[in-house]
A and B are shown apart, each in its own frame.
Chain A
């Protein structure tokens, strides 16, 4: 059935609308879809049947779809349990090490202490009355934990001497000259 509206369209537009008929499913495609549908229904019914049998205490054949499904679930949960257990044991270890005074947090603390000492000494050596605070920025750049960190930090930072944002803003030159027309 073609509407009157379609008759009033230009020829090419009518061709476009009539091309919808080309989407008709062919016999071969239809047969293939039918087979796939019946196969999918059979597989679904089989899996449901085996699931019901398993729920009633029956055995699930190895390699079956249901067995694979259960296996996937088991491994998924097993993985989650292993990861969770690893995280908990790591947390317990850190706490134990902290209690013994040999854990990683103690190492961080010792580096921090070394930096504080180095800052204080550098400030005193310069005769800066603010002492530690004035040298903090300089010492912090060499916070790497290494042998003789206390002295190394002082000597190293005296040379590094950070000079960041020391230029007053109003001295920054700006191009305020009027633009000239480009050639």
Chain B
């Protein structure tokens, strides 16, 4: 018989990275994404008895969605502590500094692009476009009707395309320098 601790460990090993990525794409900054991932799994640990075991990824996605929504609400009332941590603080190697700067710019542009979406559009876009899940699975995870999912992802694509086209000078300028 598996204990709750063992189940949690298995869940984390199987879906920890998924939760990390989704939390990041749903608006958690790099400096807080580990904490939020941990919070998601602590919530999951408390609710393990209620979980039927059918779709762990969908269950974790719903918890992640709620935890990041709470985070965004809290973040509105918190004061930013300047210098506490850099936004994208993974230390680059000396050789790859230029490339690291470029990737950092791209990720910032992606964050800004995702910020133009509504929460619903962002969820579908993250799962379908960035995570590469089929729409049927996305609709089951969120949950929403499949057609609604398509509608949201199309609206999101239009917004993302429009936004990225306005940012072409910045991003394209970087890539023209040959750092890509």
Point out residues on A near B: beta carbons under 8 Å.
1-3, 5-6, 9-13, 15-20, 22-25, 29-30, 32-34, 36-38, 40-41, 44
B5-13, B49-57, B61-69, B138-146 - interface stretch: B5-13
Taken together as a complex, chains A and B put the C-alpha atoms of A80 and B16 apart, in Å, by: 44
Asked if residues B106 and A3 are in contact (CB atoms below 8 Å), the reply is no
* Least Cβ–Cβ distance between A44 and chain B, in angstroms: 8
Asked if residues B107 and A23 are in contact (CB atoms below 8 Å), the reply is yes
Give which listed residue, A6, A18, A37, contacts B42 with CB less than 8 A: A37
B-side contacts of A13, CB under 8 Å? 160-161, 164-165, 168, 171
Taken together as a complex, chains A and B put the C-alpha atoms of A91 and B85 apart, in Å, by: 51
Would you list which residues of chain B between 23 and 46 have a CB under 8 Å from chain A? Answer: 24-25, 30, 34, 37-38, 41-42, 45
Asked if residues B168 and A23 are in contact (CB atoms below 8 Å), the reply is no
Known: A17-B129, A37-B38. 16 other contacts (CB 8 A): A2-B132, A10-B164, A11-B172, A12-B164, A12-B175, A13-B164, A13-B168, A15-B175, A20-B130, A23-B24, A30-B17, A30-B20, A33-B37, A34-B9, A34-B13, A34-B16
Taken together as a complex, chains A and B put the C-alpha atoms of A23 and B17 apart, in Å, by: 10
Would you list which residues of chain B between 132 and 180 have a CB under 8 Å from chain A? Answer: 132, 157, 160-161, 164-165, 167-168, 171-172, 175, 180
Interface of A is mostly: helix
B-side contacts of A41, CB under 8 Å? 5, 8, 42, 45
Q: Does B117 contact A (CB under 8 A)?
A: no
The answer to whether residues A15 and B106 also contact, given A37-B38, A41-B5 and a CB cut-off of 8 A, is yes
Q: Does B113 contact A (CB under 8 A)?
A: yes
Asked if residues A24 and B17 are in contact (CB atoms below 8 Å), the reply is yes
Q: Does B110 contact A (CB under 8 A)?
A: yes
The answer to whether residues A19 and B107 also contact, given A25-B20, A34-B12 and a CB cut-off of 8 A, is yes
Taken together as a complex, chains A and B put the C-alpha atoms of A3 and B133 apart, in Å, by: 11
Give which listed residue, B8, B12, B17, B109, contacts A16 with CB less than 8 A: B109
* Least Cβ–Cβ distance between B134 and chain A, in angstroms: 8
Nearest first, the 8 closest Cβ-Cβ pairs linking A and B are A19-B106, A13-B164, A1-B132, A12-B171, A25-B20, A12-B172, A16-B109, A20-B130
* Least Cβ–Cβ distance between B179 and chain A, in angstroms: 11
Asked if residues A12 and B8 are in contact (CB atoms below 8 Å), the reply is no
Taken together as a complex, chains A and B put the C-alpha atoms of A121 and B132 apart, in Å, by: 93
Taken together as a complex, chains A and B put the C-alpha atoms of A17 and B110 apart, in Å, by: 6
Give which listed residue, B16, B110, B129, contacts A25 with CB less than 8 A: B16
Give which listed residue, A2, A11, A19, A34, contacts B110 with CB less than 8 A: A19
Taken together as a complex, chains A and B put the C-alpha atoms of A11 and B171 apart, in Å, by: 10
Give which listed residue, A12, A20, A33, contacts B34 with CB less than 8 A: A33
Asked if residues A6 and B106 are in contact (CB atoms below 8 Å), the reply is no
Asked if residues A15 and B17 are in contact (CB atoms below 8 Å), the reply is no
Asked if residues B103 and A19 are in contact (CB atoms below 8 Å), the reply is yes
